[in-house]
Amino acid sequence: MSEAEITSLGATRTGVAHCATSNMRLGSGIAPLLAQMHAGMRVGIGVDGSASNDASHLLAEAREAMLLQRVARGAGAMTARTALRLATRGGASVLGRDDIGMLAPNMAADFIGIRLDTLPLAGGSAYDPLGALVFCRVPNVDLNVISGVVRVRDGALAGFNLEPLIERVQHALGRHG
């Protein structure tokens, strides 16, 4: 994207979903997120489909986006908090939604919970709990609530037996027993 294109898109408040892992996997380069944001574009973090992003892990995607900006522009280019904001409020803005993206009255209350007292997060959460969510590798969420319904509890899908599904996938791939 040229500077003129960024300026033009910023003037119209055009939104862009940045899918860092997909860009890296496809060799598409490093998106100019900072220039896009400064020009007035609405920027969010997203994940592409499994053809170019195997995990679809939004926190991992926020981490990759932050680290790519740091590679391109230096260690102070993007903070973990900015990456989290792009993954939440930024994504809501790109979608033109003012009812999602943060926990507040009259907002959709979809949220996740992550235990910080685990080995993968222990070091980072001691000095910056929010930063640890981006800098450390969060294996899985411990709690996920969508529209007021608990979908993940204690790291497991609530009310869903995953083993038969895994068996079906392995069977379809020819990996029996």
Same domain, 10 and 76: yes
Same domain, 11 and 75: yes
Same domain, 18 and 97: yes
Backbone phi and psi for residue 45, each to the nearest 5 degrees, phi listed first: -100, 135
Same domain, 121 and 98: no
Same domain, 84 and 155: no
Please answer whether residues 114 and 144 qualify as being in contact, where contact means their C-beta atoms are separated by less than 8 angstroms.
no
Same domain, 122 and 95: no
91-124 pLDDT tens trace: 999 999 999 998 889 888 789 999 998 888 887 7
Same domain, 10 and 94: yes
- Mean local confidence (pLDDT), 36-49: 94
Please identify, among 103, 121, 138, the residue that sits at the C-terminal boundary of a domain: 103
Q: Is the pLDDT of residue 79 over 90?
A: yes
* Residue 45 φ/ψ region, left for φ over 0, alpha for ψ in the -120 to 50 degree band, beta for the rest: beta
Please answer whether residues 61 and 46 qualify as being in contact, where contact means their C-beta atoms are separated by less than 8 angstroms.
yes
Backbone phi and psi for residue 156, each to the nearest 5 degrees, phi listed first: -120, 150
Please identify, among 58, 78, 103, the residue that sits at the C-terminal boundary of a domain: 103
Of the chain, the percentage scoring pLDDT greater than 90 comes to 63
User: Which residue range forms the structural domain that includes residue 137?
Assistant: 110-177
132-176 pLDDT tens trace: 999 998 888 999 999 889 999 999 999 888 889 889 988 888 876
* Residue 174 φ/ψ region, left for φ over 0, alpha for ψ in the -120 to 50 degree band, beta for the rest: left
**Count of domains for the chain:** 2
Q: What's this model's pTM, rounded to 2 decimal places?
A: 0.85
Same domain, 20 and 96: yes
Please identify, among 69, 88, 103, the residue that sits at the C-terminal boundary of a domain: 103
Same domain, 98 and 122: no
Same domain, 88 and 40: yes
Same domain, 16 and 36: yes
DSSP 62-74: HHHHHHHHHHHH-
